[in-house]
Amino acid sequence: MSLEEQSSEDTKKEMLAFEKYLKDKGLKITNQRLLVAEKIFSSHNHFTAEGLLDELKDNKDRISKATIYRILSIMVEAGLLEEHDFGKDYKYYEHIIGHEHHDHIICVQCGRIVEFIDEQIETLQRNAAAKNGFTITGHSLNIYASCQKFEVCEFNKNK
Amino acid sequence: MSLEEQSSEDTKKEMLAFEKYLKDKGLKITNQRLLVAEKIFSSHNHFTAEGLLDELKDNKDRISKATIYRILSIMVEAGLLEEHDFGKDYKYYEHIIGHEHHDHIICVQCGRIVEFIDEQIETLQRNAAAKNGFTITGHSLNIYASCQKFEVCEFNKNK
DNA sequence: GTTTGTGCAAATCATTTGCACCGCG
DNA sequence: CGCGGTGCAAATGATTTGCACAAAC
């Protein structure tokens, strides 16, 4: 099985999970919801509501901004999407597979977003919280850094 | 020297630093700027623009919201204040002394904000960035947690 | 006196919401 | 059918900005 086929397999599985979630919640399966979900599941990039809207406008299919926001919020609720704040005044979303947690490095030059995970950091965080009498419910670690790759600057593309 | 006197000593030093910054930048020393700076330097809590406005309204002195925002932005620029995003739709500010870096634990129950610093985490972050070819320019680590002190819930006071 | 600061109200901008109509189940 | 979904435009809420007047230097 090629990588492409594997990827489309994953997409199918996720589409089914989404449809199941909708059914279980008594929500309807509409064209807009399917289109948005397919677009999201077929990519692993971090994206914004605006960016998604643009991509879907290219298609013949016309989806309103309000609907995009409404669908994003359902998918976050469903645990299929994660919402991030990278210090801009709009939110980023990220397609979650499984639920593997990770942190982000955001390039202050080109806006590139790199994911990483460090189990030691995770453990130290839990300890720090415990030491202060807290039980962690979540966390967000963003490292702002410079990747020194000016030539591939995508800073404003990613909106 | 008592703690109070010490604290007021610090405040004076910071006021001088602020005034020096204003002069160096060719900015004017106005009543509003002095009032806002004094209020901020005399406390070590995390606060919001709205909260600050409320506190200053209690006084006879009337400062407009626009001016508050303008002064906050100068003080951030001057390195006297740090801006934080704790996942709300408004920003938090924090009075910096020296520049000691620290991270935050935010209670999802009562909104209490606790500061902590873990040198091991700092080091691991630098390593993680380096491993990915980045040079850190800054970072933000927020741990969302539950402090189980419902009785002291200040969640909505802090706005 | 000039230049910069302030207050007010209007503008922004991402996101949300009310409402009339539409389409899934 | 009937209720949830959608599109549109208007509302929201934090922050910003234009402008006329006021204060600092």
Q: What is the pLDDT of residues A100-130, one digit of tens each?
A: 788 999 988 787 888 899 999 999 999 999 9
pLDDT at B87: 86
10 Å Cβ neighbour count for B151?
Answer: 6
Whether any strand D atom is under 7 angstroms from the Cβ of A64: the reply reads yes
Nearest protein residue by Cα to C1' of nucleotide D14: B90
Measured CA to CA, the distance from residue B10 to residue A43 in angstroms comes to 53
Name residues of chain B where pLDDT drops below 70: 1-7, 59-60, 98-99, 148-159
Please answer whether residues B111 and B156 qualify as being in contact, where contact means their C-beta atoms are separated by less than 8 angstroms: yes
Assess whether pLDDT exceeds 70 at residue A159: no
Residues A7-18, mean pLDDT to the nearest whole number? 84
The pLDDT value recorded for residue B158 is: 36
Query: How many A×B Cβ pairs under 8 Å?
Result: 108
0.85 surpassed by pTM: no
Is the pLDDT assigned to residue A90 strictly greater than 90?
Answer: yes
Higher pLDDT, A20 or A148: A20
Q: Where are the alpha helices (DSSP H) in chain B?
A: 3-24, 31-41, 49-58, 65-77, 119-131
Q: Which residue has the higher pLDDT, B59 or A19?
A: A19
Maximum Cα–Cα distance for chain B, whole Å? 55
Contacts of A120 in chain B (CB under 8 A): 120, 124
Query: How far is B58 from B144, CA to CA, in rounded Å?
Result: 32
**Distance from C-alpha of A16 to C-alpha of A35, rounded to nearest angstrom:** 13
Share of chain B above pLDDT 90, in %: 52
- Is the pLDDT at A96 greater than 80? The verdict is yes
Q: What is the pLDDT of residue A6?
A: 57
Strand C: positions under 7 A of a protein C-beta atom: 4-9, 13-18, 23-25
Nearest to B138 among A132, A138, A144 (CB): A144
Q: Which band of pLDDT confidence, cut at 50, 70 and 90, is reported for residue A153?
A: very low
Q: Is B89 exposed, middle or buried (0-12, 13-18, 19+ CB in 10 A)?
A: exposed
The reply to whether A33 has its C-beta less than 7 Å from any atom of strand D is yes
